[in-house]
Amino acid sequence: MEKAEALKIFLEKDVRERSRIFLLSSLDELKIELRQKRIEAFVNDFLILLNECEKSGESVRYIQLSLIRSKALSNKPFYILEAYGSLFYLSQPIAVRELSLDWFYEKFNEFCEAVKKDSKKYILKIGGMELDRIILAELINCNRLLKYLLEESLVHIISLEEFTKLKLSEGIQIQIGEYRGPFEVIMVTNEYTYNIGRWWNGIL
C-alpha cells in the first residue's frame, strides 16, 4: 500500500471515527446533567480575569478566548482568556487567565492518543508530521465546542457584578480567536445594549 493511499484510508476510517467520538463525548459534558456545572466553572474564569483587570485600574475594551496551537501539540492546556485595552494586539494584555477545562482537555488528549495508536496499523506510512497536522485540524471542532460554551455562558457573564464595573460607555467586545491571530466577534456591548440584554433575559 502506498503512503498516500494509507493516509487516505486512515483519515476516512480511523480519524473520522475518533473525531466523531471526541465531539459526541464532549457534547455529553454539556447536557443537562453537567451543563450548569461546566458553565459555572467557565464563568468563574471570567470572574477571576475581571478581578485582575479591576486591580490593574486599566480600561478593558476586549475580552478574548484565545487558542494557542503550539500547546495543543504538547498535551498542555491550550485555551486562555485575555483582556485588552483600546490598543488590542498593539499592547500587552491587561490580564490573562488559563481556562479551567480539565474535562475538555481529557477528551481531546484521548482523541490524540487514540489517533496515534490507530496510526501504528499503517506501518511506516503515517509519520509524526501527518499526526501533528491531524491534531491541529481537530482544533476546528475544539473551537466549535468552546464557541458554544461561550455563547451559552454570555448571559451569566454580563450578569457578574465585576462585569458591570467595566466602562460600558466605551463598549466591550467579547470574541474567540487564535493567540495574536484572527478572531470572531461573539458580542459587542455598551451601556444601552447591556441594559437591553439584561431586560431581554429577565434580569432587570
Predicted pLDDT of residue 189: 82
- Over the stretch 132-176, which tens digit does the pLDDT of each residue have? 999 999 999 999 999 999 999 999 999 999 998 887 777 899 999
Q: Which of 44-53, 65-74, 170-179, 183-192 has the lowest mean pLDDT?
A: 183-192
The three-state secondary structure class of 183 is strand
> What is the average pLDDT score of the chain?
90
Residue 9 confidence (pLDDT) above 50: yes
Q: Residue 115 and residue 111: Cα distance in Å, rounded?
A: 6
Residue 125: all three cell numbers together: 506510512
The three-state secondary structure class of 51 is helix
List the beta bridge partners of residue 67: 79, 178
The three-state secondary structure class of 23 is helix
Q: Residue 203 and residue 196: Cα distance in Å, rounded?
A: 10
Contact 186, 172 (CB under 8 A): no
Q: Which of 21-35, 37-51, 88-102 has the lowest mean pLDDT?
A: 21-35
Element (H, E) at 83: strand 79-84
User: The pTM is what?
Assistant: 0.88
Q: What is the percent of the chain where pLDDT is above 90?
A: 79
Confidence bin at 200 (pLDDT 50/70/90): very low
Confidence bin at 192 (pLDDT 50/70/90): very low
Please calculate the CA angle 180-183-184 and round it to the nearest 5 degrees. Answer: 165
The type of residue at 92 is Q
Residue 76 confidence (pLDDT) above 90: yes
For 111, other C-beta atoms within 10 Å of its C-beta total 23
The three-state secondary structure class of 40 is helix
